[in-house]
Structure 1
Amino acid sequence: MAYHAARLVLGIIFLIAGLNGFLVVFDIEPLIPTSPKAMALFQFNYLLVVEKSLEVICGLLLLINRFVPLALTVLTPITANIFLLHIFVDPSLLILAVIMVILQGYLLYHFRDKFKGLLEIR
């Protein structure tokens, strides 16, 4: 039960955040408020498009419960950057970043057997 809730909430967060990024690229008012300081870090739209595309794709993968370990692998550095950005640059959405880290940490723990091979010394 907790696995499904964490997966769905994290999927919704990334899907909405990804779609928000595309709306900002096209100068349309985003669905939810976007931090201007965070968006200012994207000087080139193609960087924004690549990251937001990954967020949308991985958010959808989490929502449909397919390739979840792969989606978590792709989203982990994105989540880490979001968390660090809100700690050091713009604390306005820090609580959301903390929630994302907790949810992602739980999901990574849930799939810990899938990731053990990455941490083996050969």
Structure 2
Amino acid sequence: MKKFILHTARIFIGLVFLVAGVNGYLVIFGQEPFIANSPEAMKLFEFDYLLIIEKSLEILCAVLLLSNRYIPLALAILAPLITNIFLLHLFVDHSLLPLVTVLVIVYSYMLFHYRRNFRSIFEKKP
């Protein structure tokens, strides 16, 4: 049961970020996105290179999660992105707050499962 929940969480996060990343590239290329995006969030990306970097990282992490490779690396890269997305929807645009809250809970579960991979970050070095 534990493995099923972990795989479901991994696939859920991977699909969310794959769809969000591809949707962002449609915005970059001037096409109509297939999922409505937040106008408040798009105002923050005044320069296209920021959006390109973020969406590229989202797609990269989605591919890593969906292929079940380098999961701790993908979780480490996604940490600031998920934090930023959560804070944006908490304080600026509440439209996707329920989805983002579920995303944070699922991400926290995965982070808890892979906590041993991050222990060395918090060790005091001589």
TM-score in terms of structure 1 length: 0.98
Residues 67-86 of structure 1 mapped to structure 2, 5 A cutoff: 67-86=70-89
Structure 2 residue 91 is matched with structure 1 residue 88? yes
- 1:110 matched residue in structure 2: 113
| 1:66 pairs with one of 59, 69, 75 | 69
* Deviation of 1:94 (Å): 0.5
| 1:38 pairs with one of 32, 37, 41 | 41
In structure 2, runs of 5+ residues without a counterpart are none
AA matched with 1:110: H
* Partner-residue secondary structure (3-state), 2:95: helix
* Deviation of 1:35 (Å): 0.8
In structure 1, runs of 5+ residues without a counterpart are none
CA distance in 1, matches of 2:34, 2:14: 16
CA distance in 2, matches of 1:10, 1:60: 10
Tell me which structure has the larger Cα radius of gyration.
Answer: 2
| 1:53 pairs with one of 24, 38, 56 | 56
CA distance in 2, matches of 1:75, 1:31: 23
- Identity across the alignment (%): 52
TM-score in terms of structure 2 length: 0.95
Q: Which ranges of 4 or more aligned residues in structure 1 deviate by more than 6 Å? A: none
1:27-47, Cα deviation, whole Å (9 max, x unpaired): 111121111111111000000
Structure 2 residue 6 is matched with structure 1 residue 3? yes
CA contact (8 A) 1:16 1:31 kept: no
